[in-house]
Amino acid sequence: MNVCVTGSGYVGLITGAGLATLGHQVICVDISKEKVGQINAGEPPIFEHGLADLMKTVVPKSLTATTDLTDAVKRSRIIFITVGTPSSRHGEIKLDQIEKISHSIGEALHDKKDYCLIVVKSTVIPGTTEKVVETVERVSGKEFGKDFGVAMNPEFLREGSALTDFFSPDRIIIGSPDKKSRETLKELYSSFSCPVLESSFREAEMIKYASNAMLATKISFINEIGNICKNLGIDTNKVAEGIGLDKRIGPHFLRAGIGFGGSCFPKDVSALAHQAATAGITPRVLRAVLDVNREQPNRLLAILDSHTPKGKKIAILGLAFKKDTDDVRESPSLSIIKELQMENSSLILYDPMGMKEVMKLFPHLTFASSAQEAVNKADIVLILTEWDEFKTVNFGDKLVIDGKNLLYERPPTNYEGVCW
Ligand code: UGA
């Protein structure tokens, strides 16, 4: 099928490259000429494991990029909306990019002769896809269900394993009141063997938020249990293993530590809590999830304080919000660095991929060129991202405080975990 993907950020690129690999003809659209140039040269503008190799096989045969939205829409049967939905300072979702792209797609549809399906893949609060339908109808003068279709189809990609998640999804959610829209999207995904759940727009939108909120809840839950266990001298990891053996609970997302970060969980849980409050519902669990998460880096700082390290040099191993990504957005490591800076601590930082971004944020800080160098030059080590390469570092008898459960199984001589 001819597909266009509007917004070539993380989700757009993975979706585009994935669909191109499955044999579809894909055009990525973006306002950034630089990004478009990179994609057409077969170079991913973001880092994601396996994406560079995959792009070599599909560009330009089945994947190209353009800044010309109208032309791309005219040539496509399916148009994905994958623009960003950031949050405001108060946690509320910002939908400007969705509104703008819906308007542009409406204009492009005005002269389009054949039927096409618009698929909202960006994470949007319930009620947003209906507004996309209204905007496109108003601007194009065409009718939803007759001249064009709309479906809401959330993504469940994890950074670092996004391509694996794309090709082997647990489920596909297709939300639309319109049968033809649902059938057209099912045809696009016909090679997938996972369960396909059909729903309304709002159900699909909420499934995305509730999924991320559930995963974030599991993390804050195990972190709270971890804080209690640590206080009582109980091994949190053994407890997580024990409860995870219950099929109703499952073993995943029970890794205690310094809390969740990234561009999704903090933003999505806040946006859902904000929408609940706007609707007059007090989101008690969601607020508690965010509260526990906000406090969790302080647990590590309290352990650090208990070792009275004033004046000692601290190695920060890990800046990215998790391993296998250069993404430092909402990384707990950054809140720890900010706190330590306020105390005028002497720091040396290292991350295999996240340093470039952090150098822009904290240009005056000292960075090492390897984990071992950072450790050699410090008195105390904080592990704040679970990079595999940190497992092979020689820590000698320096104090290592692990915020990510990385060295739990083979701890160095002088070791303490944040919840274990
Ligand atoms: C998350 C979801 O897992 C994806 O399904 C979803 O599509 C994505 O958000 C999104 O909404 O786009 P991602 O943020 O890439 O994916 O990363 P995760 O692997 O879920 O980790 C999120 C954070 O939780 C990380 O900081 C990680 O270290 C932390 N975490 C995860 C824990 O602290 N403990 C755990 O047991 C698991």
Could you report the per-residue pLDDT of 234-275, keeping only the tens digit for each? 999 999 999 999 999 999 999 999 999 999 999 999 999 999
- The kind and range of the H/E element at 137 are helix 128-140
Beta strands 415-417 and 399-402 are parallel
Return the pLDDT at 105: 98
Could you report the per-residue pLDDT of 72-117, keeping only the tens digit for each? 999 999 999 999 999 888 888 999 999 999 999 999 999 999 999 9
The verdict on the CB of residue 329 being under 6 Å from ligand 1 is no
Q: CA torsion sign, 131 to 133 to 134 to 140? A: positive
Of 263, 280, 379, 377, give the one whose Cα is nearest residue 321. 263
Rounded Cα gap, residues 81 and 11, in angstroms: 10
Of 144, 70, 150, give the one whose Cα is nearest residue 118. 150
Which positions are annotated as active-site residues? 264
CATH number of 235-417: 3.40.50.720
> What is the rounded average pLDDT of the residues 300-315?
88
Residue 318 CB contacts under 8 Å (≥ 6 apart), including other chains: 333, 350, 351, 354, 383, 384, 385, 386, 387, 390, 404
Q: Give 216 Cα–ligand 1 centroid separation in angstroms.
A: 8
Judged against a pLDDT cut of 80, whether residue 229 lies above it is answered with yes
**Which pLDDT band, with edges at 50, 70 and 90, does 43 fall under?**
very high
Judged against a pLDDT cut of 70, whether residue 309 lies above it is answered with no
Could you report the per-residue pLDDT of 155-166, keeping only the tens digit for each? 999 999 999 999
Average pLDDT, the chain: 96
pTM tops 0.85, yes or no: yes
- The per-residue DSSP string of 242-307 comes to HHHTSTTT-STT---SS---SSSHHHHHHHHHHHHHHTT---HHHHHHHHHHHHHHHHHHHHHHHT
What does the domain layout of the chain look like in residue ranges? 2-210, 235-417
Could you report the per-residue pLDDT of 378-417, keeping only the tens digit for each? 999 999 999 999 999 999 999 999 999 999 999 999 999 9
Dmax over Cα atoms in the chain, in whole Å?
A: 72
Residue to mutate, 260, 292, 294, ligand 1, most ligand atoms under 8 Å from C-beta: 260
Rounded Cα gap, residues 198 and 179, in angstroms: 10
- Apex 207 CA angle, 51 and 139, nearest 5: 80
Could you report the per-residue pLDDT of 181-227, keeping only the tens digit for each? 999 999 999 999 999 999 999 999 999 999 999 999 999 999 999 99
Establish whether the linkage from the previous residue to 154 is cis, with ω within 30° of 0: no
> Same CATH fold, 235-417 and 2-210?
yes
- Apex 378 CA angle, 377 and 383, nearest 5: 120
Atom of ligand 1 nearest to the CA of 259: 33
- Among 28-42, 305-319, 337-351, the minimum mean pLDDT is found in 305-319
Residue 8 CB contacts under 8 Å (≥ 6 apart), including other chains: 16, 28, 29, 30, 32, 35, 36, 39, 45, 65, 82
Which residue is closest in CA terms to ligand 1's atom 1?
158
The verdict on the CB of residue 162 being under 6 Å from ligand 1 is no
Could you report the per-residue pLDDT of 277-299, keeping only the tens digit for each? 999 999 999 999 999 999 999 99
CATH class, range 2-210: alpha beta
Please list the residues that pair with 317 across neighbouring strands: 350, 383
Return the pLDDT at 310: 72
Return the pLDDT at 88: 86
Atom of ligand 1 nearest to the CA of 252: 36
The verdict on the CB of residue 173 being under 6 Å from ligand 1 is no
Cβ pair 259, 289 in contact under 8 A: no
